[in-house]
Each structure stands twice: as C-alpha cells, then as structure tokens.
C-alpha cells in the first residue's frame, strides 16, 4: 500500500501520535508509548507506522536520557536488559511466522489486569506483587522485548515489572528510558534487514522529528508538577487505556 504525499489528516494524526508518545517518554516512561502505532495506523498500514516511529522513538530516548541522566536503577537494568535481548531475538526469529493480534490481546489483558490489581490499597499490592525480583524481571523484560519487536507493545510488560517497586518518579522514568533506548537501538538493525526502512518512511520520520523535543519537554514539566501519588495514578490509568486499546486491536 503506497502512502500518498502527506495530507492534512496524516499530519494531524501523526503529529498527535508523536507528541503523545514523546510526552509519555518525557513524563511517564513508556506508559502511553504503545498508543503511537495504533494512532498512526488510522492513516497508514501498521508496519509502515512502526517503521516511521522507530527512529523517532530512538530520538525520544536520547532527549529523555538527557533529562533524566544518572537517575536510573542499575540493579533493575542488569536484570531487565538480558531478558529484553532474548525477547528481541525471539521476536526477530518469529516475525514472519507470528500474527501480532493474539500477542496484542495477551499483553492488553495483562495490562488491564495489573492496572486493576495495582489500584488496590498499597499494602495489598505489596503483598500480591513483589518488587525487584530476578525471575520476574527476566520474564517481564523478555516479554517486553518480544512484544516490542512483534507488536510494538513493549511498554506494558516493562511497567508491570517496574510500577510495583514504587521507585521515585525520576528513577522509574530514567530506568525505563535507558531500557527502551537499548531495546529500540537494537531493533534498528533487524528492522532494516527486514526492509522496513525506505526513503519515504525515513523522510516522514524526519518531517515529524521536530515535535519530539517539544513533547519530551512538556512531559518533563508536567511530571515535575505531580506528586508521587498522582504520578502513579496516572501511570495506572495510562496502562489500563493502553491495555484496552491493545485488546480492541487484537479483536478487530
């Protein structure tokens, strides 16, 4: 499906997608990042939307890293990054064999279930969902890397692992930022190998790139005005919205 020269509808939808995703990257980690591809899929094929967004996600990661430099949890990253690498490898191997619909439904269901669980009183949440754990970290980061590659929905699994730990806002965003900076950078090579980057897609990425620092800046400013309680409440709501969106995509 060839996409015509960008019109008004494309510009509005694509700009909204990039601003929403970069705002989330700057202020709430990957909480709303999974909505970027579905929004852009309203005006283009999902594979093309993903190819256009991936270089922009890498650019968002750079601006986010600058805003939260040094504010990450190295112990979490030591657990999460190896799992994500295995997940990306599995996703690349199964890319041509798997349908992303059941993957989206699975991740969406997990995100909604976790958001409901995490909304309970904090003591009950702490008893039901433990914090840092190597086995849990490897499992959820593997699922994050896999779903990020196959269905562009790696945010919910990573947040399901990080949110129960009740990290400081900046530390949570910084940790998620470094995690996805590595994940997205690694995805560039197999995406190029699979022929996802052509001149048209790269031109559209370049056209949308100026919106990235604006969105990240707004996200950082908004996050710094929020209390910890409000921040985590927004992250839960965002996770539930993304989960519902993924379920709808998988069904429809």
Q: What is the DSSP string of 98-122?
A: --HHHHHHHHHHHHHHHHHHHTS-H
* Tens-place pLDDT, residues 106-122: 888 888 888 887 776 55
- Contact 54/184 with Cβ under 8 angstroms? yes
d(CA 47, CA 44): 8
Which residues have CB under 8 Å from 235's CB, separation 6+? 28, 29, 31, 159, 163
DSSP one-letter code for 196: -
What pLDDT is attached to residue 96? 64
d(CA 148, CA 152): 4
What pLDDT is attached to residue 98? 67
Which residues have CB under 8 Å from 175's CB, separation 6+? 29, 72, 73, 76, 77, 162, 167
- Burial environment of residue 188 by CB neighbours within 10 A (0 to 12, 13 to 18, 19 or more): middle
Which of 73, 195, 78, 91 minimizes the C-alpha distance to 150?
91
Query: 138 vs 57, 131, 142, 158, 177, CA distance in Å?
Result: 23, 13, 6, 10, 17
- Contact 135/79 with Cβ under 8 angstroms? no
Minimum mean pLDDT range among 141-145, 195-199, 219-223, 231-235: 195-199
What pLDDT is attached to residue 82? 94
Which of 110, 212, 215, 216 minimizes the C-alpha distance to 163?
110
Residue 33 pLDDT greater than 80, yes or no: no
d(CA 30, CA 233): 15
What pLDDT is attached to residue 239? 85
- Contact 212/74 with Cβ under 8 angstroms? no
Q: What is the average pLDDT across 17-34?
A: 83
DSSP one-letter code for 153: -
* Tens-place pLDDT, residues 5-15: 567 788 888 89
Residue 37 pLDDT greater than 60, yes or no: yes
What pLDDT is attached to residue 171? 93
134, 136, 138, 139: CA torsion to nearest 10: 160
DSSP one-letter code for 164: G
Selected residue with higher pLDDT from 128 and 208: 208
State the Rg of the chain over Cα.
17
* Tens-place pLDDT, residues 57-95: 999 999 988 899 989 999 999 999 999 999 988 888 876
Mean pLDDT of the chain: 83
């Amino acid at each position: 499906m060839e996409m015509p020269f960008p019109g008004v509808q494309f510009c509005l939808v694509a700009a909204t997608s990039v601003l929403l995703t970069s705002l989330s990257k700057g202020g709430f980690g990957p909480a709303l990042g999974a909505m970027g591809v579905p929004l852009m899929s309203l005006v283009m094929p999902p594979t093309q939307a993903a190819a256009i967004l991936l270089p922009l996600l890498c650019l968002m990661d750079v601006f986010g890293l600058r805003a939260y430099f040094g504010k990450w949890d190295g112990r979490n990253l030591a657990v999460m990054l190896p799992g994500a690498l295995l997940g990306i490898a599995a996703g690349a191997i199964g890319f041509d064999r798997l349908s992303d619909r059941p993957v989206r439904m699975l991740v969406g269901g997990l995100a909604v279930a976790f958001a409901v669980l995490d909304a309970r009183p904090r003591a009950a949440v702490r008893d039901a969902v433990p914090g840092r754990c190597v086995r849990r970290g490897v499992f959820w980061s593997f699922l994050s890397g896999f779903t990020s590659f196959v269905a562009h929905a790696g945010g919910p699994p990573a947040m399901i692992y990080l949110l129960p730990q009740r990290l400081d806002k900046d530390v949570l965003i910084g940790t998620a930022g470094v995690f996805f900076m590595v994940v997205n950078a690694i995805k560039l090579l197999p995406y190029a190998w699979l022929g996802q980057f052509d001149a048209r897609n790269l031109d559209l990425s370049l056209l949308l790139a100026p919106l990235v620092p604006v969105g990240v800046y707004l996200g950082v400013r908004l996050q710094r005005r929020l209390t910890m309680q409000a921040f985590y409440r927004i992250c839960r709501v965002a996770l539930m919205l993304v989960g519902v969106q993924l379920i709808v995509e998988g069904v429809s």
